[in-house]
Amino acid sequence: MKLASFEVGDSVRIGLAAENDVLIDVTDIVGSDMIKVIRQFEHVVPQLAKASSDPSFTRYSAEDVRWLPPVPKPGKICGVAMNNSASNERKISAPDHPAFFLKPSSCLVGHREAIRVRRYYGSVHPEPELAVIIGRDARDVDAEDAHEHIFGYSMFNDITGNGMRGEDLFQYWALYRTDDGELERREQHLSYAGRYKGSDTFGCMGPWLVTADEVQNPDDLDVHCAVGGETVAEDSTRYYNYKIAELVSFISQFQTLEAGDVISCGTAFKPSAKRKSIHQANFQEVEGPVEMRIDGLGTLTNPVTVEDREIGKWRL
């Protein structure tokens, strides 16, 4: 089943994505809150199944709605760092477990909404990723059981300001308690992702979510990304260092994952056969739209606009 969130006028709706770019509006039976739909899915699924063949439900053309992210306000969005084996040869040192960061729900945009980049952001590029949508609370889940907690999948374009990334670095003397209760200094390099991963429109998600029963093997899905019509990634989730179940399990042993939470599983960035890479698709220089596709999940398209504005007066 493919579930979409969208707006018609000022009204938030939920629809089934059907053939020929048609959205079947099922808001009357499930409400407009995707997290609630996820929580109550077992109860509404018989009605949803009927709706797809019932002509009394309103149908919209995909052209006539405003697409929202399938989960417009997830409780959290975890982004997994450097999970593609194609990045391994560039690692000088790295942990032997998944590492992840958070993106805010305020950065999300849906299908066809613009990625808005400002000149003062510096270099910004796309990162096409498979997104997991959590179905029920997951805490301390072993990898073998992780799939029971997955509601479905979607596409996530983890837009990344690598210009800002290079600016938000600290080299400093961290303090640690020693065994005798005193302090010792350790040199540490830290970086902070608030700006470079979390700026507005830095999370494109959609066009819909696909329930897990329709995705045979999330660890073997082709991923494609083009910018301005030129392919910049031809990759597959089989090149992820950590499998989907491992990511859910690992994160759940630190953070409780809740229904509607999103894990964006890592960038598919193997360059295309013509050797173009996502890192060359700096939106300051390369025009959009960005189009990404993952097997069975549809096509997520977002135009890019560059705003020629200065940063405002943030100093008193």
Of 34-73, which residues contact a second copy (CB under 8 A)?
Answer: 73
Residue from 2, 111, 149, 165 that binds a second copy (CB under 8 A)? 165
State the minimum distance, in angstroms, from the CB of residue 209 to a second copy: 20
Among 175, 299, 303, 305, binds a second copy (CB under 8 A): 175
Residue of 63, 187, 213, 308 interacting with a second copy (CB under 8 A)? 187
Q: Total binding residues for a second copy by CB under 8 A?
A: 88
Sign of CA dihedral 104, 37, 133, 57: negative
Q: Does 2 bind a second copy (CB under 8 A)?
A: no
In this complex, which beta carbon is closest to a second copy, that of residue 76 or of residue 224? 76
> With respect to a second copy, which residue has the nearer C-beta, 59 or 195?
195
Residue nearer to a second copy on the CB measure, 8 or 193? 193
Task: By CB under 8 A, tell whether 104 contacts a second copy.
Answer: yes
Q: Applying CB under 8 A, does 173 fall inside the site for a second copy?
A: yes
123 binds a second copy (CB under 8 A): yes
Q: How far is CA 167 from CA 120, 170, 191, 315, in A?
A: 12, 9, 9, 18
287 is a contact residue toward a second copy (CB under 8 A):
no
Q: What does the block give as tokens for 269?
A: 């960035």
Among 26, 78, 109, 117, which residue sits at the site for a second copy (rule: CB under 8 A)? 78
Q: Which stretch binds a second copy (CB under 8 A): 2-10, 62-70, 162-170, 288-296?
A: 162-170
Question: Which of 43, 49, 170, 230 contacts a second copy by CB under 8 A?
Answer: 170
Distance of CA 133 to the CA centre of its chain: 10
The 8 Å CB, 24+ separation contacts for 23-31 are: 23/59, 23/60, 23/61, 23/62, 23/65, 24/51, 24/52, 24/57, 24/58, 24/59, 25/57, 25/58, 25/59, 25/60, 26/51, 26/57, 28/57
Of residues 45, 222, 282, 306, which one binds a second copy by CB under 8 A?
Answer: 282
Task: Supply the DSSP symbol for 121.
Answer: G
Taking the C-alpha atoms of residue 290 and residue 159, their distance in angstroms, rounded to an integer, is 10
Q: Is residue 82 at the binding interface for a second copy, with CB under 8 A as the rule?
A: yes
Following DSSP, what letter does each residue of 15-76 receive, concatenated?
Answer: EEEEGGGEEEE-HHHH-S-HHHHHHTHHHHHHHHHHHTT-TTS-EEEGGGSEE--SSSS-S-
Query: Helix or strand or coil: residue 227?
Result: strand
Footprint of a second copy on residues 200-259 (CB under 8 A)? 200, 243, 245-246, 249-251, 253-258
